[in-house]
Amino acid sequence: MALPSKRPFWMHQIVEYILGGALIASGLQSPTPVVPSVLGAVIMLHAAVTVGPLGAFRVLGRRTHRVVDVVVIAAEIGAGVQPWINLESSTRIVVLGIAAVHVFVWWQTSFAVRVKTPLLPADADRSTEIGRIAGRLVGNGVNAVRRQRDEDR
């Protein structure tokens, strides 16, 4: 039995932005907004500084992101169970639920960097590459029209 493949890194980044936004929104509705709002900002900033398709600042590599994710998840769990800072019970549940989702997403993510293979040999000129890309674009368009026409029959 084959193992299921891991999810691409861009999905991981989208989920981190969503989780961070959800924590910030939860903090804005809570009487104790500091902990969830700060955690949400940390998650979103962590996704934004990573080298990836949806990274804004591209400072950390994916390997570093993978390690720092464990620290961020531990901070989420710690913030959810800590007794020192007053935190509303429903906000506590939201923080722990988001930590659980973050663990699952982390576990199912492929942090490997895909190497882009060149379309042409190194000695080929740019116009040949543009011509091939244009040809593929037209071919894909023709195939899409044919598929649509076949479905309509």
Domain spans, the chain: 9-107, 118-153
Indicate whether 1 pLDDT > 80: no
Write the CB contacts of 91 (distance below 8 Å, at least 6 apart in sequence). 26, 27, 30, 32, 35, 36
Indicate whether 99 pLDDT > 60: yes
pLDDT value of residue 24 = 95
- Residue 105: alpha-carbon gap to chain centroid: 9
Prediction pTM value: 0.73
> In which band, very low, low, confident or very high, does the pLDDT at 149 lie, cut at 50, 70 and 90?
confident
Rounded CA-CA distance 151/39 in Å is 49
* Phi-psi category of residue 16: left, alpha or beta, with phi > 0 → left and psi -120 to 50 → alpha: alpha
> In which band, very low, low, confident or very high, does the pLDDT at 105 lie, cut at 50, 70 and 90?
very high
C-beta separation of 39 from 79 below 8 A: yes
